[in-house]
């Protein structure tokens, strides 16, 4: 993100601040679990950086922490400070042009290189991607139903966005599969 405004948290920082805000008071472990169960793979890959990130957010004054009574492990409850709330608002309201750009999709990235596979491996690879995408879509459908039952509207909205994105990927993969049958390999 060239030219990033240093007053606006990074995506990971902003998301962590938002999760702390929604769950506060909460522990770093709870935030880590929220990232780990995310349907977005880039967030799941970031779980190893959550504890250092929380320490940084505390150090720079965006998050406060307090001891949990009767916790022998030394657990800490996290809350946003006023500065943390302001930083979260700046992040949510930021209008960086890259927000509307195409998002990373590992299947789309790999599709650029299908020609390097032997012809006999291309259709099975596409089929595996289709099956994995269908599985992800089914998981999202279950999560959306659960968020609807629980009345968690923001989670519902976010997961619907992911559902539409994954459904579009499935449609695109189906188009590739059809075109493969028409194109000599």
Instruction: Give me the pLDDT at residue 98, please.
Output: 79
Query: Is the pLDDT at 5 greater than 60, yes or no?
Result: yes
- What is the arithmetic mean of pLDDT over 36-48? 70
Euclidean distance between CA atoms 40 and 170, whole angstroms: 16
pLDDT digits (tens, 9 = 90+) for 94-153: 888 778 888 888 999 999 999 999 989 999 999 999 999 999 999 999 999 999 999 999
Instruction: Give me the pLDDT at residue 1, please.
Output: 44
Instruction: Give me the pLDDT at residue 93, please.
Output: 92
- What is the arithmetic mean of pLDDT over 35-58? 79
Query: Is the pLDDT at 176 greater than 80, yes or no?
Result: yes
Strand 63-67, strand 76-80: pairing: antiparallel
Euclidean distance between CA atoms 24 and 26, whole angstroms: 5
Q: Which residue has the tokens 């990927």?
A: 169
Q: CB neighbours of 82 closer than 8 A, spacing ≥ 6?
A: none
Query: Is the pLDDT at 178 greater than 50, yes or no?
Result: yes
Among candidates 68, 65, 97, 98, which has minimal Cα distance to 84? 65
Q: CB neighbours of 128 closer than 8 A, spacing ≥ 6?
A: none
For 11-100, CATH gives 1.10.10.10
- What is the arithmetic mean of pLDDT over 25-40? 85
Are 159 and 39 a contacting pair, CB within 8 Å? yes
Instruction: Give me the pLDDT at residue 103, please.
Output: 81
Euclidean distance between CA atoms 83 and 105, whole angstroms: 34
Terminus-to-terminus CA distance in the chain, angstroms?
A: 39
- What is the arithmetic mean of pLDDT over 9-17? 90
Query: Is the pLDDT at 41 greater than 70, yes or no?
Result: no
Are 34 and 43 a contacting pair, CB within 8 Å? no
Domain residue extents for the chain: 11-100, 106-182
pLDDT digits (tens, 9 = 90+) for 51-94: 899 999 999 999 999 887 766 776 789 999 999 999 999 999 98
β-pair partners for 80: 63
Instruction: Give me the pLDDT at residue 44, please.
Output: 64
- pTM summary value: 0.74
């Amino acid at each position: 993100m060239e030219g990033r405004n240093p007053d606006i948290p990074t995506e990971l920082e902003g998301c962590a601040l938002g999760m702390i805000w929604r769950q506060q008071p909460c522990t770093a472990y709870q935030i880590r679990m929220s990232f780990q169960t995310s349907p977005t793979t880039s967030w799941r890959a970031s779980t190893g950086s959550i504890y250092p990130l929380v320490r940084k957010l505390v150090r720079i004054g965006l998050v406060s922490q307090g001891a949990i009574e009767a916790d022998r492990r030394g657990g800490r409850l996290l809350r946003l400070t006023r500065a943390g709330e302001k930083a979260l608002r700046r992040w949510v309201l930021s209008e960086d042009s890259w927000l509307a750009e195409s998002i990373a999709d590992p299947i789309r990235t790999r599709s650029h290189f299908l020609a390097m596979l032997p012809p006999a491996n291309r259709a099975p690879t596409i089929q595996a991607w289709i099956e994995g995408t269908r599985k992800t879509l089914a998981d999202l459908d279950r999560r959306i139903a659960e968020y609807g039952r629980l009345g968690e509207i923001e989670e519902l909205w976010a997961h619907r966005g992911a559902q539409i994105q994954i459904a579009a990927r499935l449609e695109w993969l189906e188009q590739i599969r059809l075109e493969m049958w028409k194109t000599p390999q």
